[in-house]
Chains A and B, each alone.
Chain A
Amino acid sequence: MNWNGKDAALVEQQKNYIDTVLVPLVPLDFGKEFRQSAEQYEFIGLLADFLERQFKGRIVVTPPYAYVPEMAGNAALWSQKARSAAFKHVFFLTADSMWRARENELGGSVILVPSVPLGNMEESVKYSLISHQAKQLVQMVVEKWQENME
């Protein structure tokens, strides 16, 4: 489900089935990493869209959580709130490798994907690249649901 009024109404009705929150997690930088942070945002956004379409009936995709380093840890508040509103699973989708070491802080599963700079790529090339990446993610998401059940 997307973050809009129509989908949100469905989420409220079907909370038993739509039990997962996916938070795109993107670093924000205005200096040296400016371009890289924009690229990650673009890439993660496209992947999140793809996953939303694949798992529309079970996952709701939130607005991205964007952070400067000092704010990174606050992402945990999102998962905390989501859980206390009875969402069973919280997934964070990110290309920021820092989270590899800090997954435990977040209170959710981290799906870490290496970012691909999309630059001026043509739409169709972009699409096939993203869908290739996303196909592997699909399997990962299904596995995370199973792990979390145990």
Chain B
Amino acid sequence: MGKQPVSRRQFLNYTLTGVGGFMAAGMLMPMVRFAVDPVLKGEAAGDFHPTQQKIADLTDVPVRVDFSYEQTDAWYTSEVTSTAWVYKNDKNEIVALSPICKHLGCTVSWEGSGHKDKFFCPCHNGMYEKNGKNVPNTPPLRPLDVYPTAEKDGLLQLGKPQANNIV
């Protein structure tokens, strides 16, 4: 026993430390990646996605703006498409509303099914004012979310929708 350069105990020690080291690295790597990966950090901070909508073309009538971006799900990266209803209010500020109904999540449309000056939800006849405020006595209990907006080269950019506090 004693003559051997590496004893059984030492051998076990070395190998177990090695395996443990690998395991620790396996657990730590993703954590480190989350901590430093600028893309992931950017997502969390709610950065802006480009759209094709020219700011100059916006009027006081809400228009539908579709935009897509990449999103990483559990297993793969996919292209997601989102929508916003965008117009300029009477102070000439850009308003971008999420079309997701605050009742159970259907997609609302401006003046849908002939409801003048309202956002209309076809699922259970939910209604919202132009500024996103839910109309009382229709199913939704909260106003439509708003997108933070930004401009780049004359084109509209949209952030992550937030609870609406303009109404």
Genuine A/B complex:
yes
Interface residues of A (CB under 8 A from B): 10, 14, 17-18, 53-58, 123-124, 127, 131, 138, 142
Q: Please choose the segment from B24-32, B86-94, B104-112, B128-136 that sits at the chain A interface, where 4 or more of its residues have CB less than 8 A away.
A: B104-112
Residues of A within 8 A of B123 (CB): 17, 55, 57-58
Select B106's contact among A10, A57, A124, A127, beta carbons within 8 Å.
A57
- From residue B29, how far is it (CB to closest CB) to chain A in Å? 29
How far in angstroms is the closest Cβ of chain B from A45?
A: 14
- Classify chain B's interface size: 10 to 19
Decide if B59 is an interface residue (CB 8 Å cutoff). no
- In the complex formed, the residue of A with least CB distance to B105 is A56
The 3 closest A-B pairs by CB, nearest first: A57-B104, A56-B105, A58-B123
Say which residue of B81, B103, B107 sits within 8 Å of A54 (CB atoms): B107
Residues of B within 8 A of A138 (CB): 122
Task: Say whether B124 contacts A57, CB under 8 Å.
Answer: yes
| 8 A–B contacts, CB within 8 A, in A order | A17-B103, A17-B123, A53-B107, A55-B122, A56-B104, A56-B106, A58-B124, A127-B79
Interface of B is mostly: loop
Given A17-B123, A57-B101, A123-B79, check contact A142 B68 (CB 8 Å).
no
Instruction: Confirm or deny: B159 has a beta carbon within 8 angstroms of a beta carbon on chain A.
Output: no
Given A57-B124, A123-B79, verify A18-B104 contact (CB < 8 Å). yes
A53 to B121, CA, bound (A): 13
Q: Please, how many angstroms separate the alpha-carbon atoms of A127 and B83 in the complex? A: 13
Q: What residues of B have a CB within 8 angstroms of the CB of A123 in the complex?
A: 79
Report chain A residues within 8 Å CB of B124. Answer: 17, 57-58
In the bound complex, how far is the Cα of B113 from the Cα of A71, in angstroms?
39
Instruction: List the A side residues contacting B139 at CB < 8 Å.
Output: 17
CB distance from A119 to the nearest CB of B (A): 17
Q: Are A127 and B104 closer than 8 Å at their CB atoms?
A: no
CA distance A95 to B106 in the complex (A): 24
CB-nearest residue of chain A relative to B66? Answer: A131
A17→B68 CA distance, assembly (Å) = 30
Q: Quick check: A142 and B113 within 8 Å, CB to CB? A: yes
Query: Given the complex, which residues of B lie within 8 Å of A142, measured CB to CB?
Result: 113, 122
Residue contact B103 to A57, C-beta cutoff 8 Å: yes
Bound CA–CA A18/B106 (angstroms): 11
